[in-house]
Structure 1
Amino acid sequence: MKVISVQELKQKIDNKEDFQLVDVRETFEYEMSNLDGLNIPLGGLLIEVDKIEKDKPVIMQCRSGKRSAAAVMQLEAQGFTNLYNLEGGILAWQAEFDPSMPVY
């Protein structure tokens, strides 16, 4: 599984690189705080698989990196090869860049 750090993600955002960020947390978690990714809760991922890009890098993100790792494995089983798991999830982002971000 390919992984990306929050520092690498911030660099991609700052450089305006073309990628898709998918947040696999539940909707109530996403509404509390998010990084402007597409919210597809893990439980519905395969139902909404058509929303996942195939022709650019896709970074999967959750609270800590565990659910997004599961998402990467599910999608790789469907043939995706362009996926990255965000190490540490939104907790790592908060710790590194935005201590005031509300997370539970």
Structure 2
Amino acid sequence: MKDIEVNELKERLDNNEEFVFIDVREEYEYEDDNLGAWNIPLAQLPYKLKELESHIDEEIVIHCRTGARSGNAKQFLENKGFKKVRNVLGGIVAYRNLEEEE
């Protein structure tokens, strides 16, 4: 599925749209700043597949700091049969930059 730009993510969050939102950064990064996503560090993702299976047919939006780890997470989940996975391009850094511009 096509990746998502931060402006679309912000609009969807502002509108309280329904989707599974995952932050694959480490716990300490999440504690410093987060967007309210479900925190599953990238290294823990394989161990959380059972919990995620109920969302296999739902849209899943994944982010990290800049988009690299979440890109890896997207590829991993797609390889496990998840079809509607989107990576936040630029990650939380781009999201916060967008907020500063407004």
Task: Using structure 1 for the length normalisation, give the TM-score.
Answer: 0.89
Structure 1, unaligned runs of 5 or more? 100-104
**CA distance, structure 2, for counterparts of residue 61 and residue 26 of structure 1:** 12
1:7-86 → structure 2 map (5 Å cutoff): 7-52=7-52, 53-86=55-88
Superposed CA RMSD in Å reads 1.4
- The answer as to whether partners of 2:66 and 2:89 remain within 8 angstroms in 1 is yes
Amino acid at match of 2:80: Q
Q: Which amino acid aligns with 2:56?
A: K
Task: Report the CA distance between 1:12 and its aligned residue.
Answer: 0.8
Question: More helix by proportion, 1 or 2?
Answer: 2
Q: 1:36 to 1:55 in 2, by over 3 A?
A: same
Q: CA deviation at 1:27?
A: 0.2
- Using the size of structure 2 for normalisation, the TM-score is 0.90
Q: Residue in 1 aligned with 2:95?
A: 93
Any idea what the Cα deviations from partners look like across 1:73-100, whole Å, max 9, x if unmatched?
Answer: 011110000100000000001111148x
Take 2:6 and 2:63, find their aligned partners in 1: how far apart are those partners? 10
